[in-house]
Chain A
Amino acid sequence: MEKRIGVYAECNKNGINPVFYELLTKAEELRKDLKEDYKLCGIIMGKNISNLVDEMKASGVDEVFFSEDDKLEVFNVDYYSAVLKQFIEDYQPEILLIGATALGEELAPTMGLQVNTGVAAHCTDLRINEEGELVQVVPAFGGKVLGEIFTPHTLPKIASVKPGIFTEERLEKKDAVAIEIDKTQLNAKQSRLKVLDVYYKAPQGIPMDKADVVVCGGFGMGSKENWNLLDELAVLLNGAVGCTRPAIDEGWVPDEENMIGTSGRSIRPKVYIGAGISGATHHLCGMKDSGVIISINKDESAEIFNTSDYKIVGDASKVLKAIIEEIKA
């Protein structure tokens, strides 16, 4: 059997989730550091995905494994895991990387249990050590602690990685082959999950991961009215607005979509501005890779100041108002 590193590609009507390319870049790095020869392969499934299979063939992989079926139109963990399990059993990848998207986070552990192997969750680093073993670095306690994880006895070693953790570099295109995954397990699988509806919100403003500036607000913003200042400043700076947990709890933002932190989004804009944020560890770990960190807080001893390049001790909304007026002037 050929040796393989697999990268799972999640897709929907908008195409392949970009985290695939981030993971592929990392997989290629691992492939180079491994002593033996490994093939790089991509795995994709869905309904009517022939154009995506072609896109993957041009992504720098050696092989594309795909499955097309009506059952795979919308994510159903039973059907998706049946296909992935068939792929694992038939082609025996030694390493399998899965993007820790909302759905990937469910697929990875399900797979780990079905094939009885270990899954390292939300890896922040993956590398091959001198012994040729895969070292998986995972965060715990909101990212305050990082720990190495090994999967010594079972295959594949499954690792999930959140979007935005690794940097994408396009690989050189190879003469990739596309191979259809056998459907025996998919056809046999019964599911008691039934998809009733899929809903996508219309995108608003600049996507967080594309913004050069992220203006992030916390509990210290004090009110919904003051919260609007963040939106106003973000528009002026052509940036995006992020938040911390308390802003969701207070109802100033509708959901967790733009929550920054280890359990939300990890960001690395050129400039991060934190307003009224005290600096809980899981938030700091989600923004620590930003270029310049500026934070504003009334409390001189706020934890966030220790992780800032610049600190402003003062009322966040007053300072934001002044910055907005100065830009407009």
Chain B
Amino acid sequence: MSLNIAVCMKPVPDPDKYNLLKIDPVTKRLVREGIPTIINPSDKNALEAALKIKEKLGGKVVVISMAPPNGVDKLKECLAMGADEAYLLSDMAFGGADTWATSYTLMKGLEKIGQFDLVLAGHDSADGATSHVPSQLGEWMDYTHIAGVQNIEVEDATKAIVKRRIENGYIEYEVGFPAVIAVERGSNVPRFISAMGIIKAKNKPLVVYGLNDLDVDKEKLGLVGSPTQPGEMYTMELKRESTQIEGEPEEIAVKTIEILRKAGINL
């Protein structure tokens, strides 16, 4: 009764450093210099959930990513965390894809790799943050799909019981396999990478597939295949006056209350 599980992972620029992002005034392209790449935070939760399910029921966990060639570094981290195999889909032809084209490419990648009972993904990525890809991947694969999941219980290889976040509460669903389940950041505590994990990872398969390795319709790939097209881009100006309120805490309190009153707060 073991499960074949795939985990989708996206390398993203570290969200704690987004204040360093700039747009080059000449090329109009995004400059992300000095911002390290990390595993998208909720994708780590997806991998942790997959590893826990494998520990309970047995099976295999493979990680798939569509990313530039340096994505292999983050896939190695996933292998060191405990994934069994890793696959990178990387090709210039995949570039500039919106979520429709991205989910198509991931579906084709998974089709190439094997049959999966369960696909886990982070609910959204820190950079684009659309939260579209898991649902759209589910549609492409004709799998049951559910997003916004805070808790997964898998008792056997046929279904999961999940809690799905809604405003001020949750809905609990039974999700029949095969399924794509998108888990939220904070839904579990991802394990740390151990030294042993790093050593073991060296002998695990890490495969890169390009355009010619996949049975794809080129019209559905990358920017060309995307129903949405990007236009102008600009950075957000967030600057305000920043007048300092000084003094001992008591003086600061008096001045702050004065500001609150002026802003129309009844005190």
Contact = CB atoms under 8 A, between A and B. Distances in A.
Interface of A: 74-75, 77-78, 101-103, 105-106, 108-110, 112-114, 116-122, 135, 138-154, 191-201, 203, 212-213, 237-238, 248-249, 256-257, 262-263, 270-271, 279-282, 284-285, 288, 291-294, 303, 305-314, 318-319, 321-323, 325-327
A303 B168 CA distance: 31
Contact of B244 (A121, A147, A311, A325): A311
A142 B131 contact: no
A237 B226 CA distance: 49
B196 interface: no
Contacts of A322: 249-250, 252-253
Given A193-B146, A213-B260, A307 B169 contact: no
A197 B153 CA distance: 15
B33 interface: no
30 contacts: A101-B166, A117-B227, A118-B228, A138-B130, A141-B15, A141-B18, A142-B126, A142-B129, A144-B19, A147-B234, A150-B230, A150-B231, A151-B229, A153-B227, A193-B144, A196-B174, A199-B170, A201-B169, A237-B260, A249-B186, A257-B168, A281-B15, A285-B238, A306-B240, A308-B241, A308-B242, A311-B244, A311-B245, A322-B249, A326-B257
A270 to B, nearest CB: 5
A249 B233 CA distance: 32
Contacts of A280: 15-16, 18-19
Contacts of A318: 249
A200 to B, nearest CB: 4
B242 A145 contact: no
B249 A146 contact: no
A310 B253 contact: no
Given A141-B13, A292-B259, 17 more contacts: A109-B135, A109-B136, A110-B145, A113-B136, A118-B100, A144-B18, A144-B19, A147-B233, A191-B144, A192-B179, A193-B146, A212-B265, A306-B239, A308-B241, A309-B242, A310-B243, A312-B252
Given A145-B234, A152-B229, A110 B136 contact: yes
A319 B253 contact: yes
Given A149-B230, A237-B265, A307 B168 contact: no
Given A112-B136, A323-B253, A194 B265 contact: no
B193 interface: no
Contact of A122 (B130, B161, B229, B238): B130
Interface string B110-143: 0000000000000010111111110110111000
B187 to A, nearest CB: 10
- A-B pairs, top 10 by smallest CB distance, nearest first, are A192-B176, A148-B231, A118-B227, A118-B228, A109-B132, A322-B249, A121-B130, A326-B253, A322-B253, A281-B18
Contacts of A292: 259, 263
B89 to A, nearest CB: 19
B227 A212 contact: no
Contact of A284 (B138, B238, B265): B238
Interface residues of B, number: 82
Contacts of B242: 305-306, 308-311
Contacts of B204: none
A195 to B, nearest CB: 6
Contacts of A310: 241-245, 256, 259
A5 B183 CA distance: 33
Contact of A323 (B174, B256, B264): B256
Given A192-B179, A199-B169, A308-B240, A110 B256 contact: no
A213 B136 contact: no
Given A149-B231, A237-B265, A307-B240, A106 B249 contact: no
A282 B186 contact: no
Contacts of A74: 171
